[in-house]
Amino acid sequence: MCKCKNTILITDDSAMDLDTISHILQADYTVYTATDGPTCLEIARTKVPDLILLDIVMPGMCGFETINALKENTLTADIPVIFITALTQAEDEEKGFTMGAADYISKPFSSAVVKLRVRNQIQIVNQIRQIHRNSITDELTGIGNRRYFYDQLEQEWARAVRNQKPLSFMMVDIDDFKSYNDTYGHLQGDRALRSVAQSIKASLARATDKCARWGGEEFATILPETDLVGARGVAERIRSNIENLALPLPDGTSTHVSVSMGINTVIPGTNDEYPLNKFVSDTDNALYYAKTSGRNRACAFTDVPAKKQNESRGEK
């Protein structure tokens, strides 16, 4: 689990207040500082902190204008903001909450109040983040689930359309997994799924490459800006690593599994002539061809004979 500190951006035109608050928080958080609204917006866009402490009364761009700009930007809209202010009128506080402030810290402030209000917001941020992680993580294998994968695939598809770069997609299926479960039991089958998932993840060389459990004994991998030659190389590394993976059994021995893989690579156009759902179904078709032509191999969609390119596992 990551032990990284949460990040906080403090924006205040008073150097003394900025230094004081930074000193209060820097032992527990990674702290960024800004002395005006425009700088706050720039740091918020580039660093995307977990929480922003924002002075209301600043020359030029005030805190109300700054929070409005933060909420209008999709990158920063969800960052909670705590106003730091000497304003005492109820209508000022009401205005801040109406604009989306999460809390207020009044000047002059005490260290204890600053720490408590910041801690409360950071706890909420971390809880929401954990809920989101749980919703996109496959409980058994610890890698992404199908929902996570579709989100990533849609993002990379859109990026490939914009940049006109190749996008490769691979589907991985454990061969004869029903027989494996029948022979060794479902508990051992679950252990095998976890081992295969981690082997696939470890076989990916770049942080931009993503893998997830597609469902059952199937997995999927996205390789952005990767042509077919590169995708075949990654596929062979995954296939070989899994083939050589020793899966321990309760009696002290070990066994092995193999996988079949379908690969598809395109540079998607902007006119929807080849939509994303066709990209996925063609990859599945390539996997089906790999399974029916001998297993323990990777086949690209371009390897599939033309007369078989419209077949699918559901039609056989």
The predicted model gives 287-312 an average pLDDT of: 88
The predicted model gives 249-255 an average pLDDT of: 93
Residues 33 and 120 in one domain: yes
User: Which of these ranges, 21-25, 104-108, 257-261, has the smallest mean pLDDT?
Assistant: 104-108
Domain range spanning residue 66? Answer: 7-135
Residues 131 and 154 in one domain: no
CB contact at 8 A, 171 and 287: yes
End-to-end CA distance of the chain: 44
Q: What is the mean pLDDT of the chain?
A: 92
Predicted TM-score of the model (pTM): 0.70
Residues 81 and 32 in one domain: yes
pLDDT at 314: 46
pLDDT at residue 89 tops 60: yes
CB contact at 8 A, 237 and 174: no
Residues 109 and 155 in one domain: no
Quote the tokens at residue 84. 């730091």
The predicted model gives 17-28 an average pLDDT of: 95
Residues 121 and 243 in one domain: no
Q: Which of the following is catalytic: 91, 217, 218, 273?
A: 217
Residues 271 and 291 in one domain: yes
Cα angle for residues 24, 96, 64 (degrees, 5° grid): 85
Check if 243 is active-site.
Answer: no
pLDDT at 315: 41
Rg (CA), the chain: 26
Query: pLDDT tens for residues 36-80?
Result: 999 999 999 999 999 999 999 999 999 999 999 999 998 999 999
